[in-house]
Amino acid sequence: MKALRPVGRTLLRDQACAAIRDAIVAGEIAPGTVVRDADLAQRLGLSRAPVREAFSRLVDEGLLESKPQSYTRVTPVVAAEVRDAAAVVGAMHELATRTAVPRLLPADLERMRAANDRFAAAVAAGDVDTALRADDALHDVLVRVSGNRAAAATVARYTPLIRRLERHRFGEGGNCRSADLHTRLIAACAAGDPEAAVRITADIWHSLADLADLDGPDPGPRPESRPGEGDPV
């Protein structure tokens, strides 16, 4: 597994959380997989304590679910939950965009253009991971410049749920969001037009809600494990 590799000794909980999150989003740890802190601690070269702390955070983020003294496992991809996350994340991006546009410097716009160039090249090459990283980098410029820490925290918490579905759809041969929307967003930002930038941002995130609709009907409530299924963490 590419994402699950030994990490350094600083900020162990955060590094463990990032590595496990990346592996889940990338599909290296599939939905429904029971995860064990001892196994992942060994893979990451860590003790079990920071991995347990990472599990707790990932449960809060909706990527893991846990039943005390029974199991911790990767959550299924549920279309309704992705739509909800996309609505919340989209609203935060719209708020950040409205605040950020009047504050953008030429260097910020260049960062957005460079990210969009990487995004377009990655889409053309079918490189899903690079495309999603470039997409994050572009939008993160606006979130950072806005200075809204609450919006930034909300985006960071719920975006992985959306990215997991996006990556899944890419793997099935689905289409990536168009770089043209990014180009229009950057143009509105460069023109100092926050209202146009917000409208384009809304279009971008509404397209993700549509992506969730393409994933088929919701599977309904998550099934409980039968007695004996899975191991305590």
- What is the set of domains in the chain, with CATH numbers? 1-77+219-233 (1.10.10.10), 79-213 (1.20.120.530)
Is 228's pLDDT higher than 60? Answer: no
Say how many Å lie between the first and final Cα of the chain, rounded. 20
Angle at 159 between CA 162 and CA 23, to 5 degrees: 80
In the prediction, which pLDDT does 192 show? 97
> What tokens does 56 get?
């707790």
Pair 72, 55: CB distance under 8 Å: yes
Residue 167's SS3 state is helix
Which range (68-72, 97-101, 118-122, 157-161) has the least confidence?
A: 68-72
Q: Please report which confidence band the pLDDT of residue 168 belongs to, taking 50, 70 and 90 as the band edges.
A: confident
Which ranges in 172-213 belong to alpha helices (H)?
179-190, 194-213
Q: What letter would DSSP give residue 10?
A: S
Q: Please report which confidence band the pLDDT of residue 25 belongs to, taking 50, 70 and 90 as the band edges.
A: very high
Per the prediction, the chain carries an average pLDDT of 85
Output the pTM of the full model. 0.79
Label residue 19 exposed, middle or buried (CB < 10 Å: 0-12, 13-18, 19+).
buried
69 in the Ramachandran plot: left (φ > 0), alpha (ψ -120 to 50) or beta?
left
Q: Please report which confidence band the pLDDT of residue 232 belongs to, taking 50, 70 and 90 as the band edges.
A: very low
Is 93's pLDDT higher than 60? Answer: yes
